Amino acid sequence: MTHPKWLILFFFSFFLGAMASEQKKHDSIPGLVTTNAELQFQGKFYEALKQKGIENYTKAIDALISCSKLYPERAVVYYLLGDLYYKTKAYSRSENNLQKAIVLDKNNFWYKEKLYQLYVHTDDYNKAIAAVKPLLFKRQALKEDLVHLNVSAGHYEVALKQIEKLDLQYGYKLERDQFRVNIYLQTNNQNAHIQFLKKRLSESPENAQHFLNLIYTLSKYGLKNEAFITSKSFLKAHPKSHFAHVGLYKFYLDDKAYEKAIKSMKIVTSSNVLAPYIKAKVLSDFLQFVKDNPAYKAVLAEVEPTSSLDVSNRSNLEWAAYYNEINKPLKALNFYEKELLKIPQDLGLIQTIASLYLETMQYERAVEFTLTQLEFFPTQIQLYLICGQAQFQLQRWGAALDLLEIGLDYIFEDNETAERYYILMADLYSKNNNIAKAKTFNDKAKALNRQ
């Protein structure tokens, strides 16, 4: 941290130079000895800098006011007062003193910049615009600021003209383009917005982003046919671009050109260039299309999404549903298991996972999983059934019967699950050569089937 003493010395030497310059303007007798007033001024001025350095702004202000009474023509005093009033949020006093400093020293850039900063800080945009204009010669950033200020003040046409000037002088800049677009949106100037994007595209058709910006904007304004035509032009200009197929896929679907839509969808979902969320969105949209058009369900099995899709913003349950839909239960199981880590008490999810273990012939895992879950859900007949079915496949008929006998107490409804439960018990008793028991449970199952 810089020591306050060094700050004082720095400011004192800097401002002493400024005072010496001013003194030459006002002293009429060359070589005049230092007056008592001058000594008082220097003492008060040094005190002001010292108090400012230790952030004792009230005492610094008092000392500077004393300086202004001794020599009211010294601009540096008012500049420092303006700065201190700014720091203490006395903005009106800050403005008055900075204006006095500028009147006394009209060519001082730093005084004018400080006043400009004050107006920006207080959101006084019109005054800030007037204050920054004399400073524009100094650096480009201030010219860019003028665009921001005009937009904030609602001077949209003036801001657009300023952007045009900057584009001509310095070339295009993304931030400026975004300001231009925001102005068009705020003023509902749809035509100017589209013409601007078309101009950018015509100037640099090799830049794919210009196509994307125009297609997106046309779609947003409901000009779908023109957006479709632009998408086709995009593909023609960039035949290897995967981005072109993102828009084309949806347009082809709307146009009922399903084969072309499927081709574009496959390019998008298998892309290693496109962001995962884009691919996931297209895939999700196609899933909805298949639900509405079941004849195309077989196409899902042909889709091979890249691994990057798995880390997209799509939820675990959405991915599980997708892989179930395309008959890839092992992949679906992977996402269900991830979801279970988040919500371990979700019974529906537990039953789904148990069923998938059975479906994918992971019988040991099915037994272990269901027995663990039965400790938390001891009345869930579905878990008893799945565990019994897995034990049956492992030829552990005695263990399966022992468990299913316990589960009988929790069959509260005569439904399809109960029927499957009784059939399994009949099969298990048959394996154990208990024909009487097997008949009893077969009869129970048949009775439910007749209901």
Task: Give the helix/strand (H/E) hosting 397.
Answer: helix 397-407
Question: Is the Cβ–Cβ distance between 279 and 311 less than 8 Å?
Answer: no
Tell me which CATH code domain 345-451 carries: 1.25.40.10
Distances (CA, A) of 203 to 82, 197, 207: 49, 10, 9
Q: Which of the 8 DSSP states describes residue 411?
A: -
User: Tokens in use for 33?
Assistant: 């000895």
Domain spans of the chain? Answer: 1-25+35-122, 345-451
Specify the fold of 1-25+35-122. 1.25.40
Distance CA 434, CA 427 (A): 10
Q: Rounded to 10 degrees, what is the CA torsion of 357, 380, 410, 405?
A: 30
pLDDT tens-digit series, residues 299-339: 877 776 555 555 455 678 877 887 887 778 998 999 899 99
Do 1-25+35-122 and 345-451 share a fold?
yes
pLDDT, tens only, 134-186: 999 999 999 999 999 999 999 999 999 999 999 999 999 989 999 999 999 99
Asked if residue 112 lies in contact with residue 131, where contact means CB atoms within 8 angstroms, the answer is: yes
CA distance 326 to 183: 46
Q: Are 196 and 180 in contact (CB under 8 A)?
A: yes
Backbone conformation region of residue 396, classed left if phi is above 0, alpha if psi is from -120 to 50, else beta: beta
Please, what is the angle between helix 258-269 and helix 276-292, to 10°? 150
pTM: 0.59
Q: State residue 27's pLDDT score.
A: 43
Per-residue pLDDT at 126: 97
Beta strands, E only, 53-184: none
Mean pLDDT computed over 69-79: 96
What's the pLDDT band for 128 if we cut at 50, 70, 90? very high
DSSP string for 8-75? HHHHHHHHHHHHHHHHHHH--STTPPPPHHHHHHHHHHHHHHHHHHTT-HHHHHHHHHHHHHH-TT-H
Q: What is the pLDDT of residues 204-263, one digit of tens each?
A: 999 999 999 999 999 999 999 999 999 999 999 999 999 999 989 999 999 999 999 999
pLDDT > 60? residue 28: no
